[in-house]
Chain A
Amino acid sequence: KAGVTQTPRYLIKTRGQQVTLSCSPISGHRSVSWYQQTPGQGLQFLFEYFSETQRNKGNFPGRFSGRQFSNSRSEMNVSTLELGDSALYLCASGPGDTVETQYFGPGTRLLVL
C-alpha cells in the first residue's frame, strides 16, 4: 500500500505571496492532519480534516487554511507569507478513529525569502 505523499517536496516563495501544499493520504484513510515543524517551535498541530470537514484546529492565524476533497486528498494554503512561515509542513493520514494510528508523509519544505 502506498504511503502518504506530499507535493511539492520543496518550495521557495517570497514574503507576501501565498502557497498551496498538497497531501494524498493512504488509500482508505479519511483523516488528514497537518503539522508545522520549525527549529524554534518544534512540531505544532495546524488542523485536521475528516470527510471533507475541518474537525480540529490548532492555534495558528487565519492565514493558514485547508480543505479536503471527496477523495480525502487535502490541501493547505498559507496566504500573505511571512519569513517565519519557513518550515517543514508534515501531513499525516489515518482512518479517523484516533490520532494514535497516523502515518506521516515526507513533508514539504517551504522557504520564504
Chain B
Amino acid sequence: GNSVTQMEGPVTLSEEAFLTINCTYTATGYPSLFWYVQYPGEGLQLLLKATKADDKGSNKGFEATYRKETTSFHLEKGSVQVSDSAVYFCALVNQAGTALIFGKGTTLSVSS
C-alpha cells in the first residue's frame, strides 16, 4: 500500500536559515501529496499540496515539488522565522482514496 517516510527531527535552525525537510513516498499511481503543519496546541493545517508529477506547491514561503523520478516531495523554505516553529507532516492519500496517510512528523524549532 501507499506509505510516506519523512526525516526524523528535531530540526533546529537559526532565524533566516534555509530549511529542507525530506519526504519520500511509495505509492500505486500518482496520488496527490501534501504538507501539513501543526502549531503547538493546535490541529493540522494544510500548508501546501501538489496533485501531479512536477507540480510545485507553495504557501507562506514554503515550497515542495512532486518528483516522481525520486518519489520525493521535500519541503523547503529559503528563510525561516521563529513563527515557523511547529511540527510538519508529509502525507498522501491511501490507495483506496479514502484516508490520508501521514509521515511521523518533523519538529522544527527556530531560534532568534
Contacts and interface: CB of A to CB of B under 8 A. Distances in A.
A107 B100 contact: no
Given A42-B102, A43-B89, A55-B98, A106 B32 contact: no
Given A43-B102, A58-B99, A100 B44 contact: no
A48 B99 contact: yes
A41 B97 CA distance: 21
Main SS at interface, chain B: loop
A90 B43 contact: yes
Interface in B51-102: 51, 89, 93-94, 96-102
B98 A56 contact: yes
B100 A99 contact: yes
Interface residues of A, number: 22
Contacts of A25: none
B102 A104 contact: no
Contacts of A4: 43
B43 A104 contact: yes
Nearest to B32: A100
Interface of A: 4, 6, 33, 35, 42-43, 45, 48, 55-56, 58, 90, 92, 98-100, 102-107
Interface of B: 32, 34, 36, 41-46, 49, 51, 89, 93-94, 96-105
